[in-house]
């Protein structure tokens, strides 16, 4: 390994060679070794002394050496300019010592600035937004502290850090970073920029972090550079930046290849590939003529294949590393993000851990976070807020984009997936065009084309297919619910048309909750559409509305609605007190039964995937009859008990009953009975549950060597079995009393 001073000397000589467009080589003048000599022409020289020893004594010695060399050259009729280059900021004494001898004392950054004032660019760029790393409400730069995350190599599955990416770029390796909407690609660009830019004066490689969304219609890399500097208000630096590019000293960090607009639209896959390639000719020019490697980011499914992507970007597969951003934060990364944002929030299990969602949460007021993630856990409220943020964020790509148009197109495309064989797709280019036409009234051209190609949460069906599908069911499910709401408030012809269709893909629980949040204001309109659809062909639509209305606070009176041949993901009888409903000969994935049978409500002759809240047929009342049920809640083990969706006090009760009555042995130590229930709500209620069972005569106890030992009263075994069969629907006094514990 070369000593640090030798590396520094070589780096400075290389910089000087570029600045003066002449070789800078060490030499000897008047018996003294000079670190760098540049022959500008036959009559002038530039002399450099280069040192990492930044003491005043060393700098003074170098000044004297240069004065002697300059005098010697002058005696031969040669004029010279003398510089002392150090690797730290010169002190006032150094500057004064040099000035008194007509010797310039400066650091390597100041020397490099004679080629390009990069430090001015660097300071300006850090205050300008990096791609979509912005505040979702204001559009200003995202000021949240960067959370260190890792990126996965698609070829080796190894994880890499931003520092690794920076090193590869400087070594000439190209890097493509792929990730879905809001996954943190732009924050990675920001971090890589800060790493590479920190040493620009030594490497003489100048990273330019360019938002490709600002480069519509450009065809050459120099045009991209000029527009970038104009955007930053650094017009006077554009020429020197282009000169640095021509001398291959620019490191391009190109953010958002999916955000450059095509100039027209086509439903033909081959034509679309050509349009995408044409839109990226400037990025391709930059890749093929840069002196270092380039970093390019974009959505993974924008291109039809990896081969098309590399071809359109002008990248050789052998010299390109493809990385992928993890879709979600790890638990540690998420906690670090909220700590950096100075936010304390206990997030529910249902919430995806995506960076954009975490950023959205950070923008909420404290009372809003409490409303969405507190006792009420307002999952639907957060989704409605989140989709608004997404549409506004995407609309900022271009001034001609409108958030409401993006939302309406989104909803229309989501509605078209109700009959898709794969649930989430496929969606061909013709369907994308028709969705846009139905909303806007004209075919998509120019800027609108890119909007359709990069709609958030849409991805490729297969590596070589131009068809799209929803890759984010979290977004899709809520959009489907919004479409149902749009039908309810729409005209009669729209309702009739929807009722006459035959959907196959029902709303999932999130979509039902989103629908319930919209149905609160007009449940009558929803019920009317449900009846219309139940009497026509669209029994899935009717089932969606029924499942949604059941989640409305207070429940719903269905006025004798009879539904057959429906497909329903989940019927939750816990949230409300829904009554006067019959569902027959339908497919239901999950039924969550209530504590007591709902009035005039029947589930008959259905195929039910699972019953939650009861562990056997005997635990169900007459209102659930003649159904084919694949699974019940299992309470065979502690882990299964916790999967049954019971309250903490009822979990403790079921566990104690299982251990004492239905496992081998005549008694259980208190410590063994309560094992695993020491923390949180369990620790508070566990001793109380034991006391209730003892008071009721179900358990007795005696004192052993290590504390109490509890034994079952075998005469209560039948009663305990019935309670375990019925679970949530149990009317046993013990079950009720335990349910009141807090």
User: For residue 716, what pLDDT is reported?
Assistant: 80
Higher pLDDT, 521 or 548: 548
Residue 329, pLDDT above cutoff 80: no
Q: Does residue 2 surpass a pLDDT of 50?
A: no
- In angstroms, rounded to a whole number, what is the distance separating the alpha carbons of residues 235 and 216? 19
Question: Is residue 468 in some structural domain?
Answer: no
Q: Give residue 479's pLDDT.
A: 92
DSSP SS3 for 532 = helix
Rounded Cα gap, residues 510 and 141, in angstroms: 32
**547 and 667 part of one domain:** no
CA angle, corner 56, sides to 53 and 59, nearest 5?
65
Q: Rg (Cα) of the chain, in Å, rounded?
A: 35
Task: Please tell me whether residues 512 and 647 are part of one structural domain.
Answer: no
Give the lowest-confidence range in 337-341, 394-398, 699-703. Answer: 394-398
For the chain, give me the number of helices (H) and strands (E)? 31, 25
pLDDT interval class at 138 (50, 70, 90): low
Q: How much is the pLDDT for 261?
A: 58
Q: Which of 51, 157, 62, 190 is nearest to 108 (CA)?
A: 51
Q: In what helix (H) or strand (E) does residue 93 lie, and over which residues does it extend? A: helix 92-99
Q: Assess whether the previous peptide bond of 70 is cis (omega < 30° from 0).
A: no
Chain segment 483-506, per-residue pLDDT in tens: 999 999 989 898 899 999 989 889
Whether 29 and 148 share a structural domain: no
User: Is residue 98 over pLDDT 80?
Assistant: yes
**Taking residues 522-544, what's their average pLDDT?**
89
538: which DSSP letter? -
Annotate 178-211 with DSSP letters as a single string.
Answer: E--TTSSHHHHHHHHHHHHHTTHHHH--EEEEEE
pLDDT at 1 over 50: no
User: Which of 582, 533, 530, 536 has its CA nearest to residue 552?
Assistant: 530
Residue 707 is predicted with a pLDDT of 74
What CATH code is carried by the domain that includes residue 192? 3.40.50.300
CATH of the domain at 681: 1.10.10.10
Is 407 domain-assigned? Answer: no
Q: Look at residue 455 and tell me if it is in a domain.
A: no
Q: Is residue 456 part of a domain?
A: no
pLDDT of residue 450: 60
Buried residues in 336-355 as b, exposed as e (16+ CB within 10 A) = bbbeebeeebebeeebebbb
Q: What is the pLDDT of residues 395-416, one digit of tens each?
A: 776 656 678 888 888 899 899 8
- Provide the domain limits for residue 292: 118-325
Same domain membership, residue 708 and residue 602:
no
54-68, 376-390, 538-552: which has the minimum mean pLDDT?
Answer: 376-390
- Which of 601, 589, 555, 590 lies closest to 574, judged by CA? 555
pLDDT at 732: 84
Q: Do 147 and 266 sit in the same domain of this protein?
A: yes
**Helix, strand or coil, per DSSP, at residue 77:** coil
pLDDT at 296 over 90: yes
Question: Is 341 within a domain?
Answer: no
DSSP code at position 660: H
Both 34 and 175 in one domain: the answer is no
Lowest mean pLDDT among 278-287, 350-359, 518-527: 350-359
Q: Are 48 and 16 in contact (CB under 8 A)?
A: yes
540-553 mean pLDDT: 90
Q: Is the pLDDT confidence value at 456 over 90?
A: no
User: Per mean pLDDT, which range of 46-60, 225-239, 457-471, 613-627 is the poorest?
Assistant: 457-471
Q: Within this chain, do residues 662 and 575 fall inside the same structural domain, yes or no?
A: no
Asked if residues 363 and 345 have their Cβ atoms less than 8 Å apart, the reply is no
The residue out of 301, 325, 349 marking a domain boundary is: 325
CA 38/CA 80 separation, integer angstroms: 10
For 184-198, the pLDDT digits (tens) are 788 889 899 999 998
Dihedral (CA of 506, 509, 510, 513) sign: positive
Domain annotation covers residue 443: no
The set of residues, in sequence order, having a beta carbon less than 8 Å from that of 375 and lying 6+ positions away, is none
At 133 the three-state DSSP class reads strand
Q: Would you say residue 394 lies in a domain?
A: no
| Number of domains comprising the chain | 4
Residue 350 near residue 316, CB atoms below 8 Å: no
Query: Sorting pLDDT into bands at 50, 70 and 90, what band is 92?
Result: very high
pLDDT value at residue 265:
45
Q: Are strands 628-632 and 624-625 parallel, antiparallel or unpaired?
A: unpaired
Same domain, 33 and 179: no
pLDDT value at residue 269: 65
> Which CATH number fits the domain that encloses residue 8?
3.40.1350.10
List the strands of the sheet with 320-325, edge to edge. Answer: 159-160, 151-153, 320-325, 174-178, 295-298, 250-255, 206-211
Q: What is the mean pLDDT of residues 502-528?
A: 87
Domain co-membership, 177 together with 294: yes
Label residue 373 by pLDDT band (50, 70, 90): low
Q: Which of 113-122, 512-521, 679-688 has the highest mean pLDDT?
A: 512-521
- Same domain for 48 and 136? no
As a whole number of angstroms, the distance between CA 245 and CA 221 comes to 9
Write down the pLDDT at residue 4.
Answer: 52
Of 632, 660, 687, at which residue does a domain stop?
Answer: 632
pLDDT recorded at residue 639? 47
Query: For the ranges 260-274, 459-473, 643-657, which has the lowest average pLDDT?
Result: 260-274
Task: Give the pLDDT confidence score for residue 136 in this predicted structure.
Answer: 47
Other Cβ atoms closer than 10 A to 643: 13
Spatial separation of the C-alpha atoms in residues 604 and 583, rounded to whole Å:
6
User: What's the rounded Cα separation, in Å, for the pair 5 and 135?
Assistant: 44
713 secondary structure, DSSP code: -
In percent, how much of the chain has pLDDT > 70?
Answer: 83
pLDDT band for 720, please (50, 70, 90 cuts). confident
Region 58-87: mean pLDDT is: 91
221 CB-near residues (< 8 Å, 6+ apart): 245, 252, 282, 285, 286, 289, 290
**Alpha carbon 175 to chain centroid, angstroms:** 20
Identify the domain boundary among 632, 661, 687. Answer: 632
Q: 566 with 623, same domain?
A: yes
123 and 241 part of one domain: yes
Average pLDDT, the chain: 81
3, pLDDT greater than 60: no
Give a yes or no: residue 418 inside a domain.
no
């Amino acid at each position: 390994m070369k000593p640090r001073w030798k590396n520094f000397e070589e780096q400075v000589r290389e910089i000087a060679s570029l600045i003066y467009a002449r070789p800078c080589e060490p030499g000897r003048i008047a018996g003294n070794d000079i670190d760098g000599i540049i022959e500008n022409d036959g009559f002038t020289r530039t002399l450099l002394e280069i040192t990492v020893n930044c003491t005043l004594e060393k700098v003074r010695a170098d000044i004297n050496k240069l004065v002697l060399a300059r005098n010697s050259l002058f005696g031969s009729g040669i004029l010279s300019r003398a510089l002392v280059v150090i690797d730290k900021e010169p002190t006032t004494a150094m500057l004064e010592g040099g000035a008194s001898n007509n010797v310039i004392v400066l650091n390597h950054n100041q020397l490099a600035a004679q080629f390009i004032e990069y430090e001015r660019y660097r300071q300006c760029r850090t205050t300008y937004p990096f791609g979509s790393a912005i505040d979702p409400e204001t559009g200003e730069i995202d000021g949240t502290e960067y959370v260190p995350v890792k990126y996965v190599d698609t070829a080796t599955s190894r994880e890499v850090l931003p520092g690794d990416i920076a090193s590869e770029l400087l070594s000439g390796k190209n890097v493509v970073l792929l990730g879905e909407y809001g996954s943190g690609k732009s924050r990675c660009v920001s971090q890589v920029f800060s790493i590479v830019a920190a040493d620009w004066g030594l490497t003489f490689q100048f990273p330019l972090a360019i938002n490709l969304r600002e480069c519509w219609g450009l065809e050459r890399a120099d045009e991209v550079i000029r527009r970038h500097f104009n955007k930053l208000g650094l017009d006077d630096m554009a020429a020197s930046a282009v000169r640095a590019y021509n001398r291959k000293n620019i490191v391009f960090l190109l953010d958002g290849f999916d955000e450059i607009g095509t100039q027209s639209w086509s439903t033909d896959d081959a034509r679309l590939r050509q349009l995408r390639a044409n839109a990226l000719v400037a990025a391709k020019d930059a890749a093929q003529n840069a002196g270092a490697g380039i970093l390019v980011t974009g959505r993974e499914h924008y291109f039809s294949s990896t081969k098309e992507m590399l071809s359109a970007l002008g990248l050789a597969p052998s010299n390109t590393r493809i990385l992928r951003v993890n879709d979600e934060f790890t638990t540690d990364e998420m906690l670090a993000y909220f700590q950096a944002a100075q936010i304390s929030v206990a997030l529910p299990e249902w919430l995806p851990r995506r960076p954009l969602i975490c950023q959205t949460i950070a923008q909420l007021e404290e009372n809003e976070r409490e409303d969405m993630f507190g006792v009420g856990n307002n999952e639907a409220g957060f989704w409605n807020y989140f989709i608004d943020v997404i549409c506004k964020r995407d609309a900022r790509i271009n001034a001609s984009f409108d958030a409401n148009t993006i939302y309406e197109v989104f909803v229309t495309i989501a509605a078209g997936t109700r009959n898709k064989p794969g649930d989430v797709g496929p969606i061909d280019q013709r369907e994308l065009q028709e969705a846009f036409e139905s909303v806007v009234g004209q075919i998509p051209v120019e800027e609108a084309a890119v909007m359709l190609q990069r709609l958030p949460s849409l991805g490729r069906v297969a590596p070589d297919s131009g068809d799209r599908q929803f890759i984010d069911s979290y977004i899709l499910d809520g959009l489907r619910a919004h479409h149902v709401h749009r039908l309810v408030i729409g005209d009669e012809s729209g309702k009739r048309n929807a009722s006459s269709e035959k959907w196959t893909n029902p709303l999932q629980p999130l979509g039902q909750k989103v629908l319930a949040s919209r149905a609160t204001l007009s449940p009558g309109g929803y019920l009317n559409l449900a009846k219309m659809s139940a009497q026509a062909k669209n029994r899935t639509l009717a089932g969606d509305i029924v499942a949604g209305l059941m989640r409305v606070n207070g429940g719903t009176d269905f006025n004798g609605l009879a539904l057959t041949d429906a497909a329903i993901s989940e019927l939750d009888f816990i949230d409300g007190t829904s009554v006067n409903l019959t569902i027959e000969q339908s497919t239901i994935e999950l039924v969550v039964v209530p504590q007591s049978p709902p009035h005039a409500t029947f589930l008959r002759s259905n195929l039910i995937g699972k019953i939650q809240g009861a562990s056997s047929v005997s635990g169900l009342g007459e209102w659930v009859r003649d159904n084919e049920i694949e699974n019940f809640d299992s309470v065979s083990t502690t882990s299964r008990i916790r999967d049954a969706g019971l309250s903490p006090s009822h979990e403790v009760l079921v566990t104690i009953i299982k251990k004492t009555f239905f496992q081998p042995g005549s008694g259980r130590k208190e410590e063994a009975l309560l094992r695993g229930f020491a923390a949180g709500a369990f620790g508070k209620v566990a001793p109380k549950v034991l006391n209730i069972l003892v008071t009721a005569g179900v358990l007795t106890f005696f004192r052993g060597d290590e504390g109490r030992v509890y034994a079952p009263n075998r005469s209560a075994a039948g009663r305990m079995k019935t309670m375990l069969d019925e679970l949530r629907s149990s009317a046993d006094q013990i079950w009720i009393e335990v349910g009141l514990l807090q």
